[in-house]
């Protein structure tokens, strides 16, 4: 229970800091992060990318999605079922045909079919806080940790799990439990960690 409360307080503190970033500064930091992402071999080599659609104060992934589609990459975004905590990756060809969930997040329709997670090359993982060992603290629903469990052993080490974060989201140590899956790389406005 103590780790849960600690995570809850930490999550609230970091989200508050992230929500209060000056918008002009946020645009500058986003640009530095996105430039590093595009230059990385992980983006260049990936054909099938699973990426969340940015929401609220998250780093602008809509720009990544549009560029990746122009670069002829296959793009998959999350479709979630909050009651069952189930998530699928669904291919999109643009940001236009998406539906706003009851949480205000854009998602593909329930009619669209999803990809087998074992076929992905790169997963851009959202999160509230990270540490230099790949430790990640998400939003608390466990969607991604559950999703990673659907990927078999040889593929989980092949598929790159990469996070985009502001420096202020980096902690010395993220509290993690056995179910939490670390990320392989983190890109901040200042560095590429991995």
Q: What domains can be seen in the chain, in order of their start residue?
A: 1-193 (3.40.50.10420)
pLDDT for position 126? 97
Q: Is 7 annotated as a binding residue?
A: yes
Q: Is 2 annotated as a binding residue?
A: no
What single DSSP character describes residue 103?
A: T
Q: Is 24 annotated as a binding residue?
A: no
Residue with tokens 């189930």: 86
* Residue pair 83/190 in contact by the 8 Å Cβ criterion: no
Whole-prediction pTM: 0.94
Report residue 91 as tokens.
């291919």
Please state, in angstroms and as integers, the Cα–Cα distance from residue 43 to each residue in 64, 122, 129, 186, following that order: 10, 8, 22, 13
Q: Is 171 annotated as a binding residue?
A: no
Q: Is 8 annotated as a binding residue?
A: yes
Q: Is 9 annotated as a binding residue?
A: yes
Please state, in angstroms and as integers, the Cα–Cα distance from residue 48 to each residue in 17, 40, 99, 152, 178, following that order: 32, 15, 22, 17, 28
Reported as type and span, the H/E element at residue 92 is: strand 86-92
Query: Mean pLDDT per 10-residue run, the chain (194 residues)?
Result: 74 96 97 98 98 96 98 97 90 92 86 95 97 94 92 94 98 86 96 95
Q: Is 153 annotated as a binding residue?
A: no
Q: Is 42 annotated as a binding residue?
A: no
Residue with tokens 């990544």: 64
């Amino acid at each position: 229970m103590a780790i849960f409360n600690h995570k809850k307080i930490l999550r609230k503190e970091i989200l508050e800091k992230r929500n209060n970033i000056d918008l002009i500064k946020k645009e500058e930091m986003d640009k530095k992060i996105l430039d590093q992402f595009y230059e990385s071999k992980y983006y260049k080599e990936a054909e099938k990318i699973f990426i969340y659609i940015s929401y609220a104060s998250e780093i602008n992934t809509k720009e990544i999605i549009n560029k990746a589609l122009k670069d002829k990459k296959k793009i998959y975004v999350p479709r979630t079922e909050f009651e069952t905590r189930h998530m699928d990756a669904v291919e999109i060809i643009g940001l236009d045909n998406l539906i706003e969930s009851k949480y205000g997040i854009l998602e593909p329709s329930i009619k669209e079919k999803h990809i087998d997670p074992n076929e992905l090359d790169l997963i851009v993982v959202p999160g509230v806080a990270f540490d230099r060992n790949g430790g990640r603290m998400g939003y608390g629903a466990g969607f991604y940790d559950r999703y990673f469990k659907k990927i078999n052993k040889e593929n989980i080490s092949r598929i790159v799990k990469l996070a985009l974060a502001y420096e202020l989201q980096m902690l010395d140590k993220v509290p993690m439990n056995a179910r939490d899956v670390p990320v392989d790389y983190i890109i901040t406005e200042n560095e590429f960690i991995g």
